[in-house]
Amino acid sequence: MSDNERRRAAILGRLRDVYRRSPEDEAAAIATVEQRVFHPAPNLIPARGQLDLEGRIELFTTMARNVQAEVERLPRLADVPAATSAFLRRHNLPQKLVVAPDPVLQGAGFASQPLLRLRFGDADQHDGAGLTLAFAGIAETGTLMLCSAAERPTLLAFLPENSLIVLPSARVFGAYEQAWQELRREQGRPPRSVNFITGPSRTGDIAQRLELGAHGPRRLAILLVDDLQAG
């Protein structure tokens, strides 16, 4: 037995000494635990987000703006490059961008913005703006849900001071549970990192005054795209 196994046995042993379950209780406990681990069911879901798609998009937009995110609705994926360029111009930033190497974003037609210098890949400390694709949005609190993958590195949404995120309108769910259920349905196990993002980075650690851009992005722009088809 390794040291770790010994310590593990001691801790679990202490717990079992306290619980002192009868065989029947133990069987019942195991059944309950298995049920809750293998077949988790939602607890109370607030009524707030339980709306039709347009209602959810509207609520999502309001909630995200309440936490200082910029939200823009675009009819087509092909509108993303122009919206990105306009965002950079609006904030007096260089026309430079690192983009997640996701097939959807690669098909957005960035050639339409010849002034925009862009690179597909992960962000490093020199990148001022990053663009990636969200898995879902949650209307309840205006929250984005990002799932890591080879083509969607996580640092893109954390290292650059400006974070732009494409969110397909049809993927705005009412509650976190519904978005997570969709992830389970599509992928089974969660990817390495699932990031729920609600507004840009912030801190209240200096005299409880709200300051944006503590470590993560100072600005968060959400591009809600209705039609994700390329071209």
Contact set for other proteins, span 37-66 (CB under 8 A): 37-38, 40-44, 46-48, 63, 66
Check binding of 22 to other proteins (CB under 8 A).
no
Q: Smallest distance from the beta carbon of 28 to other proteins, in angstroms?
A: 10
Query: Which one of the spans 53-61, 84-92, 104-112, 120-128 is the region binding other proteins (CB under 8 A)?
Result: 120-128
Distance CA 204, CA 183 (A): 33
Residue 103 touching other proteins (CB under 8 A): no
Nearest approach, Cβ of 74 to other proteins (angstroms)?
Answer: 24
Closest CA to 135 of 182, 66, 177: 182
Joined tokens for residue 181: 């259920």
Decide if residue 112 touches other proteins (CB under 8 A).
Answer: no
Site for other proteins in 164-203 (CB under 8 A): 175-177, 180, 189-203
> Cα 191 from chain centroid?
12
118 lies in the site for other proteins, by CB under 8 A: no
Q: In this structure, what token pair is assigned to residue 1?
A: 């037995």
CA distance 170 to 188: 21
Q: 188: phi > 0 → left, psi -120 to 50 → alpha, else beta; which?
A: left
**Contact between 119 and other proteins per CB under 8 A:** no
| Site track for other proteins across 132-171, x = CB under 8 A | --------xxxx----xxx--xxx--xx------------
With CA atoms as reference, report the closest residue to 133 among 101, 91, 162, 178: 101
Binding mask 70-89 for other proteins (x = CB under 8 A): --------------------
* The two structure tokens encoding residue 55: 């209602």
